[in-house]
Amino acid sequence: MLDKKHILNRFISYVKIDTESDPKSTSTPSTIKQWDLANKLAEELKAIGMQDVSIDKNAYIIATLPSNITHKVPTIGFISHFDTSPDFTATNVKPKIVENYDGSVIILNKEENIVLSPNYFEDLLLYKGQTLITTDGTTLLGADDKAGVCEIVSAMEYLIQHPEIKHGPIKVGFTPDEEIGRGAHKFDVEKFGADWAYTMDGSQIGELEYENFNAASALVKVNGKIVHPGYAKGKMINSMYYASQFIETLPKNETPEKTEGYEGFYHLHSMEGKVENTELNYIIRDHDRNKFEARKLQLIDLVKSLNKDIGHTIFEIEIKDQYYNMKEMVVPVMHIVDIAEAAMKELNIKPLIKPIRGGTDGSQLSFMGLPCPNIFAGGHNFHGRYEYVPLESILSATEVICKIAELTQKRYS
């Protein structure tokens, strides 16, 4: 039986450490403060009895739980990231505990009138009677992905304390900078040494994912001319006006807030402008590789068309691929998904097999030779003040990890 209070305290200790990553930084990890949790995790892994614990110069952590059986079985791995999103502050996180949630509105911050309401976030009603961990309304929580980190550490601790659960060799890995797309960039797959792995980085209990977006970033630069507004006729070129023209030309129904399932989108996630220069930062997403390539080409063609209509170069564009759909790497080894699905069913958890509308370290790792489906970590409303996670989901994910280890050795016994 898992120690509920012990695991809750572990999770709380993680989220109170600020590990926000920084997309503008060129170092790894991108922020020095990520080392605070990285070093804590390395010491904690040693303390619970993990072997070969290492933390490299970039804060990547790897550890081993040796096999406790005599026959040879594949080495499996579990991976999570410890950074949090730069989209919302992670400074001074003060988690709130709501026991025996009754389905009503949760007051996160009375002074600022910030509430978590099931009228808006309907998923809350799935967790009536459970213990919810929320924010205080002024920060994110960090369940993405400190819930996953907590689940992996807790599962390893449980397996060490319960040698009657038979398993093969298990590797665990924790990474920085996943939230800015670099979590797997310096991950040493060869050193990790697993035949396959699972990222514990999903949301709702039961999620099991082996498909994700193909992803790219697009920087659109709009070049204007600044002159005194009193003498601007025929001379000034206001880049912000042209930037708005670019924005308005893209299809209005292909944005995150109007798409679901396998539907792709263009997402303008930031913009900064003055008369002389404006920059638009887009992300491009699509599950289908051909549609993904077509989306990139559409942006390039739009830039060419607008420049042609204007008569000279106002727009420039730079597109960079970020990651690809892991499906093509996982389908040839679908038994690794089958094992995870069977583990959930044995624990009476209904598997929710669906595509990830986002990315995860697993997508990059799969293309680096480590097939890596994604399993729920339990949190909801990531990257903002309304983030929460049911404690029972953290416990269930911990049990799933243990059960996957057990079923893997049974499959190969």
Would you name the residues annotated as active-site residues?
A: 83, 178
Q: What's the CA gap between 7 and 392, in Å, rounded?
A: 10
Cα distance between residue 240 and residue 237, in whole Å: 9
Q: Under DSSP, is residue 130 helix (H, G, I), strand (E, B) or coil? A: coil
In sequence order, the 6+-apart residues with CB closer than 8 A to the CB of 29 are 21, 35, 38, 58, 59, 83, 176, 177
The H or E element that residue 64 is part of is: strand 61-65
- Residue 26 — φ and ψ, nearest 5°? -105, 0
Other Cβ atoms less than 10 A from the Cβ of 342: the count is 17
Q: Would you state the structure tokens that stand for residue 156, as one six-digit string?
A: 């390893």
The per-residue DSSP string of 294-329 comes to HHHHHHHHHHHHHHHHHTS--EEEEEEEEE--THHH
Select from 12, 58, 21, 10 the least CA-distant residue to 38. 58
Among 203, 177, 113, 136, which residue's Cα sits nearest to residue 384?
Answer: 136
Q: Which of 191, 213, 200 is nearest to 369 (CA)?
A: 191
The answer to whether the beta carbons of residues 142 and 90 sit under 8 Å apart is yes
